Copies of this chain bind each other. A is one copy, B any other.
Amino acid sequence: MVNRSSASTLGFALLGLIAQKARSGYDLRKFFSSTPMASFSDSPGTIYPALRRLERRGLIRGQVDRERGRRRRELFQLTPHGRAEFHRWLQRGITRADVEHGVDALILRFAFMDEGAGRTAAFRFLKALGKELGEYIPSLREYLNSNRPSMPLSGRLALENGILRYETLLGWTKAAMAAYRKEN
């Protein structure tokens, strides 16, 4: 069986944007098509059903905005339950699986951290991510060293790119922590 109550990555992205201010499906589509959050699809077949799922689970509620002379549109806002679920998502710990599976979802979480969970939580997140990366990167290096001779050049370079990506991320966590310290 599958998680029936909470949301997917897209779901949390929508929750985060709606948490900032009430938005319509169209607003959200435009946001995805016109900002660096373009990794999410802006197609109506993705957005509108996702919003209905969030509504069905009681995480958001929509109300039709019927100002005269304006096109009909439906603005969504978080319910208290939605706000709580979103907050729980932000507060989740960081696992090896999170880091292995692709770091984009983690960065998405972090992007909403200040607004949704506060700066202390943001700092804690960075520290936990740094710790996890510090443990993961050596295992990648080890794999590279053991398999280097048998790997084709493009395969080796691809792996080196992965390692570089994680190392850059680790450096970024440190710079980001410094930025938080400076602000306080």
Chain A residues with CB under 8 Å of chain B are 35-36, 38-39, 100-102, 104, 107-108, 110-115, 119, 122, 140, 143, 152-155, 157-162, 164-165, 168-169, 172, 176, 179-180, 183
In the complex, A123 Cα to B78 Cα: how many Å? 49
Minimum CB distance partner of A177 in chain B: B157
Decide if A153 touches B122 in the complex (CB within 8 Å). yes
A-B contact pairs, 27 of them (CB 8 A): A36-B143, A39-B100, A102-B102, A102-B104, A107-B158, A107-B162, A108-B158, A110-B154, A110-B158, A111-B158, A111-B159, A113-B154, A114-B152, A114-B153, A114-B154, A114-B155, A115-B152, A115-B155, A119-B153, A122-B153, A153-B180, A157-B172, A161-B176, A164-B172, A165-B168, A165-B169, A168-B168
Q: How many copies does the complex hold?
A: 2
Interface majority SS on A: helix, strand, loop or mixed?
helix
- Tell me the minimal C-beta distance from A49 to chain B in angstroms: 16
Minimum CB distance partner of A153 in chain B: B114
Decide if A102 touches B39 in the complex (CB within 8 Å). yes
CB-CB under 8 A from A162, the residues of chain B are: 36, 107
- Tell me the minimal C-beta distance from A130 to chain B in angstroms: 13
CB-CB under 8 A from A157, the residues of chain B are: 110, 172, 176, 179
- Tell me the minimal C-beta distance from A113 to chain B in angstroms: 4
CB-CB under 8 A from A111, the residues of chain B are: 154-155, 158-159
CB-CB under 8 A from A176, the residues of chain B are: 157, 161
In the complex, A119 Cα to B6 Cα: how many Å? 46
CB-CB under 8 A from A153, the residues of chain B are: 114, 119, 122, 179-180, 183
Minimum CB distance partner of A34 in chain B: B143
CB-CB under 8 A from A110, the residues of chain B are: 154, 157-158
